[in-house]
Amino acid sequence: MDTTLSDQIEAIKSHIDIVDIIGQFERMKKRGRDYFCKCPFHNENTGSFSVSPAKGIYKCFGCGVSGDAIKFIQEREKLTYIEAMKWLADYYHLPLDDSSPRTYTRPTPRKISRPQPNTSPATFISKDIFNKSLSHYSDNNLITFLHTLFEPCIVNMLIEKYYLGTSKYYPGGCIFWQVDELGNIRSGKIMPYSPITGKRDRQATPVSNWVHTVLKMDPFTLQQCFYGQHLLCEDTSTPIAIVESEKTAIVASVFIPSFIWIASGGKGNLTRKKCQCLAGRKVVLFPDLGAVEDWQWVAGELSDIIDIEVNDLLQIAAPEYQLPDKSDLCDYLTSEAARTELVNEFKAALIEQAPQTISEGLQIWLDFSDKGLRRKDCSRACNEIRQEYDFDIVS
């Protein structure tokens, strides 16, 4: 390669913007400092293809492909190295003196519009609107479902702890209020649920909405925080667990009380800005089934500000518990297999401690009720012990 051609190639390389180039072919979304899209080199439902403008590289956490903008053009357009450089030269209107014929279609440059950071101050919801929603729980389908899992005293505690509201926007609609550690009410996400299964009603249109949108509070600058973020100021030493779903954070807080449970509201919502409130804290991510690799990558990006790790419990438990794809921690914790496991632990505690008085038996029950053991589970365990062993048990 002669000096002129080498200099021209270096000049082209100095102009390359990898986000701009890949953006000519793929629709990308910004998450933190990087961009994500569905991988163009394999079929996938989630966007695991990441593009780093700072490093000038791309990587797919699904199929493992990686490289720079030149390699992307080579692979995407099936070109040789010099043909890819010609493509880039045409794109940036730069000279490249090479006599070999072109075997590709000249690119038509178009500039992509990158999302600009929102610099407007956040708008907050008034306490009056917030307080009015904290009622009518008999009409709230999620609360009805929680009563199938836990004793009434625990459900009432969860309502108060996680600021659960009721909305008429959906029949039986629930409001998840996003309140930051300063007590500012960022907004509330309204979602419909089945009172029987606790699953989201995905036939609803739209599948979710925001309080400020429903009330037509315009203009309104939404700056989201974690669901449950207000809990961080109440306890600065307990480790934090993050899940995607608000419902999952609520349910998991009962079954696994050794964490402060908060929800990101979605896999793509773990942005660096949003996670600043977690700086210096111990954080464990509990990804949905199939999302471990995505969250491991996010954990790596945040490791300089957070003591963070990813728990792959679901991936390990999925075969034994026969969990379907995209299951989350709530699906695992509320499964019949997990419920049976909890009952067996309670039975073992009863047999080992052999309570002789109602007071002693009650204390064991209370310890397990804090983990989500229902009264009917307690009765089931005691009846099984009576049938399996040659002694009665105080219940």
Helices marked H in the chain: 3-15, 18-22, 69-77, 81-92, 127-132, 141-149, 152-161, 211-214, 246-255, 292-302, 313-321, 329-333, 336-353, 358-369, 375-388
Output 389 or 264, whichever has higher pLDDT: 264
Q: Which two tokens stand for residue 374?
A: 């229902």
Q: Is the pLDDT assigned to residue 65 strictly greater than 80?
A: yes
Task: Categorize the per-residue pLDDT at 100 as very low, low, confident or very high, splitting at 50, 70 and 90.
Answer: low
Range in 11-20, 253-262, 342-351, 373-382 the model is least confident about: 373-382
Q: Above 60 in pLDDT, residue 113?
A: no
- Residue indicated by tokens 């790596």: 300
Query: Please, are residues 65 and 59 in contact by the beta-carbon 8 Å criterion?
Result: yes
Quick check: 329 pLDDT over 60?
yes
Q: Across residues 233-240, what is the average pLDDT?
A: 90
In the chain the first and final C-alpha atoms are separated, in Å, by: 87
Distance CA 63, CA 55 (A): 20
Mean pLDDT over 134-148 rounds to 96
Q: Is 2 exposed, middle or buried (0-12, 13-18, 19+ CB in 10 A)?
A: exposed
The predicted pLDDT at position 108 comes to 64
Q: What is the pLDDT of residue 222?
A: 92
Flag whether pLDDT at 325 surpasses 70.
yes
CA 268 to chain centre: 7
pLDDT at 383 over 90: no
Residue 219 makes CB contacts below 8 A (sequence gap 6+) with 123
CA angle 363, 367, 368 (to 5 degrees): 120
Mean residue pLDDT of the chain comes to 86
Element (H, E) at 327: none
- Kindly list the structural domains of the chain, giving each domain's residue range(s) and its CATH number in brackets, ordered by start: 3-92 (3.90.580.10), 122-151+165-225 (no CATH), 231-317 (3.40.50), 336-388 (no CATH)
Count of helices and strands (H, E) across the chain: 15, 13
pLDDT band at 109 (very low <50, low <70, confident <90, very high): low
Task: Give residue-wise pLDDT tens across range 256-287.
Answer: 888 999 999 987 788 888 999 999 999 999 99
DSSP summary character for residue 382: H
